[in-house]
Structure 1
Amino acid sequence: MSAIKPAYLTENPSHDAIIDIINEEAFGPGRFARAAERVREQGPHDRHLSFVAAVDEQIVGSVRMTPILAGEVAGHLLGPLAVRPQFKNLGIGRQLVRISVDAVLASGSDAVILVGDAPYYRPLGFEPVQAKLRFPGPVDPDRILVAPKTVAIHAGLDGEIRWRRVEEQASELPAAEGL
Structure 2
Amino acid sequence: MTALRKTTIALTSDAAPFAIRAERSSDVVAREALLDACFGDNRLNRTCQRLRDERAPAEGLALSATARGRLVGTVRLWHVSVGGKPALMLGPLAVEASSRKFGAGAALMDHALAAAKARGHRAVILLGDAPYYIRFGFSGAKTGELLLPGPFERDRLLGLELSEGALDGAWGMITATGAPELKSRTVRARKALQPVPHAA
Quickly name the TM-score band, shorter chain normalised.
0.7 to 0.9
The residue that corresponds to 1:73 in the other structure is 85
Is 1:48 the equivalent of 2:48? no
Separation (CA, whole Å) in 2 of partners of 1:154 and 1:165: 19
Q: How does 1:75-94 map to 2 (within 5 A)?
A: 75-94=87-106
Q: Which of 5, 15, 28 matches 1:3?
A: 15
Is 1:118 the counterpart of 2:130? The answer is: yes
**Cα distance in 2, alignment partners of residues 42 and 136 from structure 1:** 15
Per-residue deviation at 1:148? 5.1
Aligned counterpart for 2:149 among listed residues 136, 145, 154:
136
Aligned position for 1:160: 173
SS at match of 1:39: helix
> How is 1:94-109 mapped onto 2 (pairs within 5 angstroms)?
94-109=106-121
What count of residue pairs does the alignment treat as equivalent? 167
By how many angstroms is 1:159 displaced?
Answer: 1.4
- The question of whether the paired residues in 2 share the 8 Å contact of 1:127 and 1:151 is answered with no
Superposition deviation, residue 154 in structure 1: 2.7
What is the match of residue 28 of structure 1? Answer: 40
Please give the alpha-carbon distance, in whole angstroms, between the structure 2 residues aligned to 1:80 and 1:13.
17
Q: Secondary structure at the match of 1:154?
A: coil
| Cα deviation, residue 93, structure 1 | 0.5
Aligned to 2:159: 146
CA contact (8 A) 1:73 1:110 kept: no
TM-score normalised by length of structure 1: 0.86
| Aligned CA distance change for structure 1 residues 150 and 128 (closer, same or farther; 3 Å) | farther
Structure 1: 5+ residue runs without aligned partners?
Answer: 167-179
Within 2, Cα distance between the matches of 1:149 and 1:114?
Answer: 14
Q: Is the 1:12–1:47 contact (alpha carbons within 8 Å) kept by the matching residues of 2?
A: no
Q: In 2 relative to 1, CA 73–160 (structure 1 residues): closer, same or farther, beyond 3 Å?
A: same
Shift in Å, 1:156: 3.6
Name which of 28, 50, 55 aligns with 1:16: 28
- Amino acid across the alignment from 2:96: R
Instruction: Assess if the C-alpha contact under 8 Å between 2:161 and 2:167 holds in 1.
Output: no
Structure 1: 4+ residue segments shifted above 4 A = none
1:116-139 alpha-carbon deviations (Å, 9 max, x no partner): 000111112211142311111111
Letter in 2 for 1:132: E
